[in-house]
Chains A and B, each alone.
Chain A
Amino acid sequence: MTEALHHLRVEGVSFRYPHFELASLSFEAHAGEVLAIIGPNGSGKSTLLEIVSGHLGPQAGKVTLDGVDLHRLPPRPLARLVGLARQETILLFSFEVREFVRQGRHPHLGRNLFESPEDERWVDWAMEKTRLVEFAGRRVLEMSSGEFQRAVLARTLAQRPQLVLLDEPTANLDIGYQIEMFRLLRQLAISEGFIAVVVTHELNLASELADELILMERGRCLARGTAEEVLQPDLLSRIFRTPILVDRNPSSGRPRVTWVTAPR
């Protein structure tokens, strides 16, 4: 099912914290694209993501999705368009996985107190895509952190947003699930027609599966473009403070980042 083509435009957004400044940033993305935001810790990636989500107002600039200024939308319409999944706080109350994923339908409930059959169908769909169906009755508190992250992704997918924003979605996943999640994101972005913007530390996954990369350092965008253009060894070595070399993944031909170590 393809939705109408979506277009995200970030224009000149900037933000200032007491000790940190996000300089004026601009970029664009279209339906079916996966954008990866990479960079060292503290470079402002998460702040940028929050601004793009419409939840943190920039001090200058604007973010529009299909021409709609996201920062002018009230919480519920915004949540119907934008799904943002970040590192979650630990729950003290136990929900079952299906209940947890079902929360993703909240923005769509409107005046209804309960979910409709269509809502339930989207919950089933999201759980199927993230391979969580067997976990449906398990308590969220009993899951491993990796399984929990998949549940958070499922909840975001259940929102059926046009813009999917993920902050380190693979932080606790093993390599198999990391690849699976990125592939899934890319597949769904194309089949469902949404735009995905992912903040990640996985440079190689970004290289393989993102259409565009944005490299940030200390609040500025240092490079933007394809993996070839952005993953330059000199640049990476400088900003990550360690010698890095970039070769090619023999199976895909895409740039592959490795660190330089002395022979043992």
Chain B
Amino acid sequence: MTLPATPRNVMAVALAMLLLLVLVVLLSLTLGAVHVPLSEVWRALTARGGGSEATIIVLDIRLPRILLAILVGAALSVAGTGLQALLRNPLADPYVLGISSGAAVGAIFALWLGGRIASASPLAAFVGAMITMLWVYLLGRSGGRLASYTLILAGVITASFLSAIILFMLTLLSTRDVRGIAFWLMGDLSVTPLAELRLLAPVIILAIAGLYLLAKDLNVLLLGAEEAAHLGVNVPRVEAGVYILASLLTGLAVSTSGAIGYLGLLVPHLGRMLVGNDHRMLLPTAALGGAILLVLSDTLARTALAPAELPVGAVTAVAGAPVFIYLLRKTAG
């Protein structure tokens, strides 16, 4: 029997996962090209490390990256959960509506313009993502609402069109820039300074909270748009809200660290296997689960071929594909 979504149960599950996250973070802080023992990590975190090399590694190099992994992992997983409910399709992922392609176009465009604009490529990527969000929204509307059929079509067509543009623009870039963008396209957590996290964190947290307020409506939406309307859900408004919040989360995640794959698709499924379909339980599970998995993936990306680094998207793909196949076989059988 699934755990019913009561405030107490939701808190219990969230707390348990939060604890797990903390443990994973501590583990991750010790691992890397240089092994930092747990005692040193603890000292650094409690500001007793002084200027030691360990402290610098933990606080300036690893912690920001781990915090980014938490935010991006949560953002992508929650966006995926929301979109799967909106599209009533368990195969939806945050990129199916073209947001990541829009971000890539923005970033490549900035790189191509070069100079100072190139360094603002995350901002350009975000702008690209938001323009795509608006475009797909306008294109995908039908009968005053975001019917899943037209929305998916609009997204897929847009994504495909943008991919062509991306390939074209790549020919205009120098080979050095192309390598940089390739890394970014796969998903890369190594770039963001702590300052940007201060901007990113509240927005991501607020967007996730916004989706949580829609959780009970999302449950009913899964029954079908007509059935949801008969149960009092303001379907056009809820659809628009979920679409905007999920796209915002995806846009933020992708513009900071590229298109990390599989999280937005798989974490909601794993979450459903663990706690069921009630979004009041599923959303926190997906958020924290995504955070945990991305921190673990990034740790692997940093350590597998140390001192060289893999792009984290490569790890999620290599790990994600077999999990996806397993899930597919399980539901088919």
Report if B160 contacts A (CB, 8 A).
no
Q: Which of A75, A85, A88, A93 contacts B232 (CB 8 A)?
A: A75
For chains A and B in complex, what number of residue pairs have CB atoms within 8 angstroms?
80
Report if A78 contacts B (CB, 8 A).
yes
Q: Taking the nearest CB of chain A, how far is it from the CB of B137, in angstroms?
A: 22
Q: Which of A55, A75, A83, A91 contacts B223 (CB 8 A)?
A: A91
CB neighbours (8 Å) of B280 from chain A are 113-114
Q: State whether B277 touches A93 (Cβ < 8 A).
A: yes
Report if A199 contacts B (CB, 8 A).
no
Contact with A along B214-257 (1 / 0, CB 8 A): 01110110111011011111110000000000000000000000
Within 8 A of A (CB), among B58-79: none
Report if B2 contacts A (CB, 8 A).
yes
Q: State whether B227 touches A89 (Cβ < 8 A).
A: yes
Q: State whether A114 touches B233 (Cβ < 8 A).
A: no
Give the segment of B4-12, B121-129, B290-298 that binds chain A. B4-12
With both beta carbons as reference points, the residue of chain A lying nearest to B237 in the complex is identified as A75
Report if B49 contacts A (CB, 8 A).
no
Contact with A along B12-38 (1 / 0, CB 8 A): 000000000000000000000000000
CB neighbours (8 Å) of A121 from chain B are none
A80-B232, A114-B5 given; A109·B216 CB < 8 A: yes
Q: State whether B219 touches A103 (Cβ < 8 A).
A: yes
The distance in angstroms between the C-alpha atoms of A77 and B89, with both chains bound, is 29
A92-B88, A94-B277 given; A99·B231 CB < 8 A: no
Q: Which of B1, B224, B227, B229 contacts A96 (CB 8 A)?
A: B1
Q: State whether A76 touches B213 (Cβ < 8 A).
A: no
A89-B224, A92-B89, A92-B90 given; A107·B276 CB < 8 A: no
Q: State whether A107 touches B89 (Cβ < 8 A).
A: no
CB neighbours (8 Å) of A77 from chain B are 232
Q: Which of B89, B222, B226 contacts A91 (CB 8 A)?
A: B222
Q: B interface, how many residues as a size bin?
A: 20 to 34
Q: State whether A106 touches B2 (Cβ < 8 A).
A: no
The distance in angstroms between the C-alpha atoms of A48 and B216, with both chains bound, is 30
Contact with B along A95-126 (1 / 0, CB 8 A): 11011000110110100011000000000000
Report if B177 contacts A (CB, 8 A).
no
Q: State whether B213 touches A113 (Cβ < 8 A).
A: yes
Q: Taking the nearest CB of chain B, how far is it from the CB of A241, in angstroms?
A: 31
Report if B40 contacts A (CB, 8 A).
no
Q: Taking the nearest CB of chain B, how far is it from the CB of A150, in angstroms?
A: 16
Q: Which of B88, B227, B276 contacts A99 (CB 8 A)?
A: B276
Report if B309 contacts A (CB, 8 A).
no
A95-B277, A106-B216, A113-B213 given; A159·B231 CB < 8 A: yes
CB neighbours (8 Å) of B277 from chain A are 93-95, 99
CB neighbours (8 Å) of A107 from chain B are 231-232
A96-B276, A99-B278, A114-B5 given; A75·B89 CB < 8 A: no
Q: State whether A53 touches B230 (Cβ < 8 A).
A: yes
Q: State whether B4 touches A99 (Cβ < 8 A).
A: yes
Report if A79 contacts B (CB, 8 A).
yes
Give 23 pairs: A residue, B residue, CB < 8 Å, sorted on A: A74-B234, A75-B232, A75-B234, A76-B232, A79-B230, A85-B230, A86-B230, A89-B223, A89-B224, A91-B223, A92-B90, A95-B277, A96-B276, A103-B219, A106-B217, A106-B231, A106-B233, A107-B231, A107-B232, A113-B213, A114-B6, A114-B216, A137-B1
Which 9 A/B pairs are nearest by Cβ-Cβ distance?
A: A79-B232, A107-B232, A76-B232, A137-B1, A89-B224, A84-B230, A106-B231, A75-B232, A93-B222
